[in-house]
Amino acid sequence: MKYVTANGAHLPALGFGTFRMPGADVLRILPLALKTGFRHIDTAQIYGNEAAVGEAIARSGLARGDIFLTTKVWVDKFSRRDMGPSVEESLKKLETDHVDLLLLHWPQSPVPLAEQIEGLNALVDAGKVRHIGVSNYNCALMGEAVRLSKAPIVTNQIEYHPYLDQTAVLSAARSYGMSVTAYYAMADGRVPKDELLQDIGARHGKTAAQVALRWLIQQQSVAALTKTATESRLAENFAVFDFSLDAAEMDAISALARPDGRIVNPGHLAPEWD
């Protein structure tokens, strides 16, 4: 496993995501993901599956310290009054006394950002959270979060795949010593069908999906989340550390980006994107 180092945190470069995964699927597939070698697990309060994630990890037999566990605070729990109790509830569901990374899930909220960041820092001070970060932030919001926070901001979890240019956010994150964690790496099913990615994969004996994941984690300070409920895909998704893309291949994949490449854009939650 490759690791991404950012502001004191060491994130396994490849994570297993659980977005839109019902608890029954988590209990079925997450133990297999852990056996495959995944050690970076991503969930969120709004996913409704923290309890299943916690149960699967507890049953795995792995030491808690061997797993990098991320969850996210939903926007209705950002206030000084609500954040702490909501995270306590998450910890109970996850069957742990801490999470390795806690993120603010989306930026749009009536709660001032200073209050949100204060809440994250209080949880770090209390030992409930090892590292903190944000999700779906633009460059300006990242800079403001960094300015307001006593604890380092470790990552910005964003939509990132070959069809979406995130150069500006990547550059800003690196300037703050932060990482970027990519979600929607398969671009909602578009990646496996892409002819360029298939052609590059054929040169390496890999699939288009593996090429896209490799393209992500081969970039400086980038981790990527994978997600599957299909057992046969687990080993495929994990087998991205035994080959490399050359500069021409990396550039060709980056050139797939297009102005309308963004998929996730809820108007009531999203910022003004860079």
Q: Kindly list the catalytic residues.
A: 47
CA pair distance 14, 215, nearest whole angstrom: 12
* H-state helical runs in the chain: 23-36, 50-59, 80-94, 113-125, 139-148, 167-175, 195-204, 208-217, 231-238, 247-254
CB 142 within 8 Å of CB 273:
no
Amino acid at 159: E
Relative to beta strand 40-42, strand 68-73 is parallel
Q: Say how far apart CA 178 and CA 137 lie, in whole Å.
A: 13
User: Any known ligand binding at 131?
Assistant: no
Q: Which amino acid is at 162?
A: P
Count H helices and E strands in the chain, helices first: 10, 10
Report the DSSP beta bridge partners of residue 257: none
Binding residues for substrate: 105
Binding residues: 105
